Amino acid sequence: MSEASPILDVQQLSSGYGRSRVLFDVSLKAGRSGGVAVLGRNGAGKTTLLKTLAGELKPMGGSITFDGRDATNEATESRMRRGIGYVPQEHAVFGKLTVRENLRIGALSKRNEGAIDTVLDFFPKLAERLGQQAGTLSGGERKMLAISRALLGKPTLLMLDEPTEGVWVGVIEEIADRLGKLRSEIGIIIVEQHVELALKIADYAYVMDRGEIALEGPADQIRDDPRLLRYLAP
């Protein structure tokens, strides 16, 4: 990650639901290329962090700067237009619509249906299933479709919430391989239970514990840090 000009600079971010605060003073940066992993046990606040960065939750304090401009209270749609792509943990595809229709919805907002072919080159398995209802896809295919839809928005920063959850091991490798390629072109923030995989994609990692950043550092240092297991233990 280039320290000089991060695409995302989060300072002392607090957030939560109603009156209940879940994130406490989270500071984090992501580069214009490369991967950032956010790790932590269930309930540590990883999804809450991504939702706040996507604009789905209003921050209770702190600041979010995206691509040099303040985004702390910017509407989700505006953030997406400016280049933040978000693949949420669930409900990321329209189950009743076909793969083709899902992709068209992703592309239409940018008037770039031509980009669908590029995305299908990226995940060729989807090309074989264009006419199939998205709700009948396997877990892995559904994740590929959700990632493809986000890519059609031409993000400069892609945030992924557990992209391999519920995915068969053979397909996990495929998704990891594609994300590994993507990270040379755009910034990636990956929340993942599959720690080895996340640290393979990431150059830098943050470990969350009870809504705070408990540990951070280069991915290969975090991998060998004896404190990591403590923060991941249930």
Ligand X SMILES: Nc1ncnc2c1ncn2[C@@H]1O[C@H](COP(=O)(O)OP(=O)(O)OP(=O)(O)O)[C@@H](O)[C@H]1O
Work out how close the CB of 137 gets to ligand X at its nearest, in angstroms, rounded to a whole number: 22
Residue closer to ligand X (CB basis): 56 or 113: 56
Q: Examine residue 139 and tell whether it contacts ligand X (CB under 6 A).
A: no
Choosing from 12, 43, 109, 177, the residue that interacts with ligand X (CB under 6 A) is: 43
The first and second tokens of residue 140, run together, are 């892995």
- Choice from 3, 4, 19, 42 touching ligand X (CB under 6 A): 42
Return the bridge partners of 159, or none.
86, 189
Closer residue to ligand X, CB minimum distance, 49 or 84: 49
Piece in contact with ligand X (CB under 6 A), picked from 37-45, 67-75, 129-137, 174-182: 37-45
Give min distance, CB of 18 to ligand X, in A. 7
State the Rg of the chain over Cα.
Answer: 17
Q: Rounded to whole angstroms, how far apart are CA atoms 171 and 6?
A: 31
Return d(Cα 44, Cα 207) in angstroms, integer: 9
Rule CB under 6 A: is residue 183 a binding residue for ligand X? no
Minimum separation from the CB atom of position 32 to ligand X (A)? 25
Which is it for the CA torsion 1, 214, 177, 108, positive or negative? negative
Closest CA to 198 of 165, 166, 234: 165
Q: Does 52 bind ligand X (CB under 6 A)?
A: no
Question: Binding of ligand X at residue 45 (CB under 6 A)?
Answer: yes
Residue 69 in tokens: 């401009």
Q: How far apart are CA 193 and CA 210, in angstroms?
A: 16
Rule CB under 6 A: say whether 15 interacts with ligand X.
no
Counting contacts by CB under 6 A, is residue 189 touching ligand X? no
Q: What is the Cα–Cα distance from 51 to 182, expressed in whole angstroms?
A: 22
Using CB under 6 A, list all residues that contact ligand X. Answer: 17, 20, 22, 40, 42-48
